[in-house]
Amino acid sequence: MSKSKDSAETSVLQYLTSQNRPYSVNDIVLNLHKEHGKAAVQKALDNLVQNGDVREKTYGKQKVYLVDQSKLSDASPDDLKQMDEKVESLEKLCKQNQDAVKEAQSELKMVSSSMTTDEARALVTKLTKETQELSAKYATLSAAQGEVMSKEERNKIRKDREKGIKEWKTRKRICMDMVNTILDNCEMTKAALLEELQVETDEDVGAKIPTS
């Protein structure tokens, strides 16, 4: 292994170990202040995963990396306190995301009765983007919490996940209902309308609503 590759692996492993939370390859490149290029960081991650030092998790098209928890030494009281604070912060952020979904649904109910075709198209685009962003964020939060949580906390995350899947299905149905409403007032096919609106469906991006 060349000196530059060895340096990249060392930097990446030290950073993931010190932070002990999942990051994407782009996050790691930025957080290391571009000390190593994206290709070098990706190669380092691939080697670390192959060596068992780092774990890789995939959510749709997004990959995140987390240091293997079995390689870490026993946590000190200060470490445990920091982990508890991190978990609490992540739970608050997760709650904020759920509140944002409820707020978006409330806004949709208020405006749907008097919405114009142009307004409906704009809202479909907005809701589709928000759903994809929230789904990716929820996946990252679930990965971060799953490594350090107790059984009771994991059960809570599972319930939150089930609720998130239900919200996903509801929002998808609402969006498709709005698309169908637009189609009733124009002579375009559904595929042509989605292309004109530049709306990507779950199927377009390879996202599937979990069944369990």
Q: Does 130 score more than 50 pLDDT?
A: yes
CATH architecture of structural domain 3-71: Orthogonal Bundle (1.10)
Q: Is the pTM of this model over 0.75?
A: no
- 4-12 long-range contacts (CB < 8 A, ≥24 apart) are 4/36, 4/40, 5/40, 5/43, 5/44, 5/47, 7/36, 8/36, 8/40, 8/41, 8/43, 8/44, 9/44, 9/47, 9/48, 11/35, 11/36, 11/44, 12/36, 12/41, 12/44, 12/45, 12/48, 12/54
Q: Show me where the domains of the chain are located.
A: 3-71, 77-197
Query: What digits encode the pLDDT tens for the residues 143-191?
Result: 665 555 567 877 888 888 888 888 888 888 888 888 888 888 887 888 8
Average pLDDT in the 80-93 region? 69
* pLDDT of 33: 87
* pLDDT of 1: 46
